[in-house]
Amino acid sequence: MEKVKIVLDADVIIHFSKGEALSLLPKIFPEYDYVVLSIVYDEIKTVAKQLDNQIHFLKDISLQDFKPTGEMKKEYIMLTSRFGRGESACMSYCRFTNNVIGSSNLKDITDYCNQYKITHLSTLDFLYYAYMKGLISLEDANGFIDEVIAKGSHLPKISIDEYKCQIVI
Q: What is the pLDDT of residues 45-56, one digit of tens each?
A: 778 778 888 787
Q: What is the pLDDT of residue 164?
A: 58
Would you kindly state where each structural domain of the chain is located, as residue ranges?
5-122
Say which CATH architecture domain 5-122 belongs to. 3-Layer(aba) Sandwich (3.40)
* Percentage with pLDDT > 70 across the chain: 96
CA angle 131, 31, 98 (to 5 degrees): 110
Instruction: Provide, for the chain, the percentages of residues in helix, strand and coil under a 3-state DSSP scheme, each rounded to the nearest 5.
Output: 50, 10, 40
DSSP 97: H
Q: What is the pLDDT of residue 167?
A: 41
Q: What is the pLDDT of residue 48?
A: 77
Nearest-angstrom CA–CA distance, 168 and 143: 24
Q: What is the pLDDT of residue 49?
A: 79
- The strand pairing partners of 6, in sequence order, are 34, 100
Work out the mean pLDDT of the chain and round it to a whole number: 91
Q: What is the pLDDT of residue 165?
A: 46
* pTM for this entry: 0.92
DSSP 82: T
Q: What is the pLDDT of residues 51-77, one digit of tens each?
A: 888 787 778 999 999 999 999 999 999
The residue among 157 and 36 whose pLDDT is bigger is 36
Q: Is the pLDDT of residue 166 over 60?
A: no
Spatial contact of 121 and 94, defined as CB atoms under 8 Å apart:
no
